[in-house]
Amino acid sequence: MVRDICTDNDILLIADEIMTGVGRPGKPFCVDHWSVVPDLITSAKGLAGGYVPAGAVLVRQKIVKTLLDGSGRFIHGFTYNGNPVSVTAGKAVLKFVKTQNIMENAERQENILGELLKELHQIPIVGDIRGKGLMWGVELVMDKGSREPLPPGKKAAEMVTH
């Protein structure tokens, strides 16, 4: 539905897949679970396995065409651009993800992990548990019925890590 709204109104749909990309959700990108094709996808953390900084912006052909029809260049620069260590790490991670069937394994493990996490529903502050592949979230709430979030003063992160 969001894809259709963006298309109908000439708005770019950007998928922030910094944390979810590169197989963690059991597919290359989380949006792939719903067959959504965004105009841009950002990806980073999974690209180099956390060993070195690496990031990417993947764009549809219409974005490339717009750039080429304009100045013909995409001028930008960051400290780590073209870093050969990052590129090498990224290539190694992508090769490993493919050869070791990491996405397929994440997809297979989804039901197992989901079933184990369902046990957390008995905890009074757990409002919802949802995820794809090996990427899951546990929503902490003040009240299960209204799903009112815990206020900052309750220090939810400390409640579950101590």
pLDDT digits (tens, 9 = 90+) for 38-48: 999 999 999 99
2-100 CATH choice from 3.40.50.200, 3.40.640.10, 3.90.850.10, 1.10.3720.10: 3.40.640.10
Locate tokens 């050969």: which residue?
84
In single-letter form, the type of residue at position 114 comes to G
pLDDT at 74 over 90: no
Q: How confident is the model at residue 14 (pLDDT cuts 50, 70, 90)?
A: very high
- Tell me the domain boundaries of the chain: 2-100, 103-161
Q: Superfamily assignment of 103-161 in CATH? A: Aspartate Aminotransferase, domain 1 (3.90.1150.10)
Instruction: Tell me 122's DSSP state.
Output: G
Closest CA to 89 of 55, 52, 56: 52
Whether 127 contacts 144, CB under 8 Å: yes
